[in-house]
Amino acid sequence: MTDFDEPANDTAEAFSFYAEDYDRWFDDPKGRIIFELEVKAVRLLMRDLAPPFLEIGAGSGRFAAALGIRYGVEPAEALLEMAIKRGVKVERAFGEKLPFQNGIFGGVFILFTLCFVKEPRKVIAEAKRVLKEGGGLLLGILNRESLWGKLYQTKKNEEHPFYKHARFYSCKEATALIEEVGLKVEAFSSTLCQPPSEMPHEEVAHDRLIEDAGFVGIRGRKTHN
């Protein structure tokens, strides 16, 4: 989650245009704390998954580098180049049409990207397609029902260059999307239970669903039907 003020027309173009500002956010004190909390929450859901891993919407490679995700797709060229420099093998592609064969990944990560995609169900179906049997989808969302979600909905309403394109999800909606494609939702993690502030404080990541948490991770498993 990042903060900018100027408008842009298209999501991928906006992320490319503001790529340096976007990436720099992770190094400022506020961004660093939030990022570390989110990484902790995602790690709770990775414990029994085996690589190779893929991130859909790899951005500048921050999450992939921190989580040991080797592969990614990213449509914003400037961010893609940053991710490559961080050692991620990234292809320029959209989540609705992944350039990979069936059943090759032990884990697929969609971290904040779902709110920006045009066809969320298709993206999750593609994630399922490239998962191995027993592999897991890790979906991370900015929870619309939280105080953080309300803050970013306000940014959307104010024509923020990124978030004006976003559609934020509740935990219930995100869970339903995963289940609709035939993945078994089996675990949650939560963090950012504090209200938004100029300087967030450290907190724990919980291995359960907290419905008013700002960040919620959801794991769906690919099992035999």
CA–CA distances in Å: residue 74 to residues 48, 106, 132: 26, 19, 22
Band (225; pLDDT cuts 50, 70, 90): low
Q: Give me the number of domains the chain comprises.
A: 1
What is the amino acid identity at position 43?
Answer: R
The reply to whether 120 falls in a domain is yes
The reply to whether 203 falls in a domain is yes
The CATH number assigned to the domain holding 110 equals 3.40.50.150
The reply to whether 93 falls in a domain is yes
192: Cβ–Cβ under 8 A, 6 or more apart, which residues?
A: 34, 37, 38, 146, 148, 200, 203, 213, 214, 215
The reply to whether 1 falls in a domain is no
According to the model, what pLDDT value does residue 161 have?
76
The reply to whether 128 falls in a domain is yes
Tell me the residue range of the domain where 74 lies: 11-221
d(CA 8, CA 78): 15
The reply to whether 2 falls in a domain is no
Edge-to-edge strands, sheet with 131-142: 89-91, 71-73, 53-56, 105-111, 131-142, 215-221, 184-191
d(CA 78, CA 210): 35
d(CA 34, CA 222): 30
Q: Model confidence over 142-163: pLDDT tens digits? A: 999 999 999 999 998 998 877 8
Residues 127 and 108: beta-carbon distance below 8 Å: yes
The reply to whether 4 falls in a domain is no
Q: Model confidence over 42-53: pLDDT tens digits? A: 999 998 999 999
pTM equals: 0.93
**Mean pLDDT computed over 163-192:** 96
Residue 4 has pLDDT above 60, yes or no: no
Radius of gyration of the chain (CA): 16
Q: Model confidence over 82-125: pLDDT tens digits? A: 999 999 999 999 999 999 999 999 999 999 999 999 999 999 99
The reply to whether 3 falls in a domain is no
State residue 84 phi and psi, 5-degree precision: -60, -40
